[in-house]
Amino acid sequence: MAMHTWFICKIRYEKVMENGMNKKVIEPYLVDALSFTEAEARIIEEMTPFISGEFTVSDISRANFSELFPSEEEAADRWFKCKLIFITLDDKSGAEKKTSTYVLVQGASTEDATTKLHEGMKGTMAEYRIGSVVETPIIDVYPYGKEEGNKEV
């Protein structure tokens, strides 16, 4: 299974609003990269065709997502940070042990993201429950390789 290192890259630029006025905005994007340097290079490469005028990468930080569940649905235009709690039994004591991880799910709403999360977790042998589903400000995600079938299993 390929491990991904996700970075949140914040882009600062002047956006032309619907009313025609320019407004300075900072928008977060998620990039799959091996290092901070590579994350910066990749986000600049990805954003250059879309932003007319100057933009700067104002911040880069690591993101702790273990998996991504993208959606092809047009209505699924938002990204949700979902906390999964895995419940395992300790071999020695028999006590329940809970381990948390975060996944990013693309959906149209909190309910839609929850449904897609359950779909994405089908076939998982581990017992889990959803701790939270929270909408993020992430605009878009740039994983390595645009082809589908790049998902971890």
Closest CA to 144 of 42, 28, 67: 42
**Residue 152 binned pLDDT confidence (cut-offs 50, 70, 90):** very low
Q: What is the mean pLDDT of residues 23-30?
A: 96
Residue 149 has pLDDT above 50, yes or no: no
Task: End-to-end CA distance of the chain: give it in Å, rounded.
Answer: 7
Amino acid at 6: W
pTM: 0.85
Q: What is the pLDDT of residues 65-114, one digit of tens each?
A: 999 999 999 999 999 999 999 998 888 898 889 999 999 999 999 999 99
Full set of structural domains in the chain with CATH? 1-63 (3.10.20), 65-140 (3.10.20)
The answer, yes or no, to whether residue 8 has pLDDT greater than 70, is yes
pLDDT in tens, 61-73: 999 999 999 999 9
Please tell me the distance from the alpha carbon of residue 29 to that of residue 46, in angstroms, as a whole number.
Answer: 10
Question: What pLDDT band is residue 141 in, cutting at 50, 70 and 90?
Answer: very high
Contact 39, 10 (CB under 8 A): no
Cα-Cα-Cα-Cα dihedral sign, residues 98, 137, 141, 37: negative
